[in-house]
Amino acid sequence: MSKVLAIDTSTSRTCVAIIDGDEVLYNGHRDGATAHGPSLPQLVQEALAVSPVDEVVVGMGPGPFTGLRVGIAFAHTFALAREIPVRGVCSLDAIAAQVSDQDFIITVDARRKEVYWARYTAGKRVSEPAVNFPADVSGATIYADLFPDMKALVQLTGDISEPIYLRRPDAVATADRS
């Protein structure tokens, strides 16, 4: 069984874990929506002091552009340097794994007074991730302010190769501004 470095930066929390099968060897986090850059290398260094890894799993969002970019770029660079596989998973699915309701919605802060969200039935995602104002998200019990379950992130199957960006970035090239 391989030891997996799990990384998620899709929320205001930078999450890192090392998972070996069903055993969590390391699980750390730092809070701060703008602290992913300095927090991630520190957490990974702490994790690697516990155990080496054979694979990387990274949360691919949805989430704010910069936070996702930090986690995804780090995960791919780390894996490339060590010549180990990397795979991406929907971060909302790793949050939903903590909920046992039959029909529910997971939301995370998208800033700009919006939320990223998806609907789940019996633990399976039944809608594509979306971004809306909270008042526009309804139809089931809503779970907000949760963070990805890192063990679930590793156990989820999936191979998402592109970040889940649901809106255009704030930064726009000067030539493209209107």
Report DSSP letters for 128-168, one per residue: --EEE-GGG--SSEEE-S----HHHHHHS-----S----S-
Task: Look up the domain containing 152 and give its range.
Answer: 3-176
The total domain count for the chain is 1
Which residue blocks in 49-102 are alpha helix, DSSP H? 65-82, 91-96
Mean pLDDT across 102-129: 95
Residue 77 maps to which CATH number?
3.30.420.40
- Confirm if 106 and 146 have CB atoms less than 8 A apart: yes
Residue 157 confidence (pLDDT): 78
Structure tokens at 59: 């949360």
Compute and round to an integer the Cα radius of gyration of the chain.
Answer: 16
Whole-model pTM? 0.92
Dump pLDDT digits (tens) for 34-76.
999 999 999 999 999 999 999 999 999 999 989 999 999 999 9
For the CA atoms of 68, 69, 72, 74, the dihedral, rounded to the nearest 10 degrees, stands at -130
Residue 169 confidence (pLDDT): 63
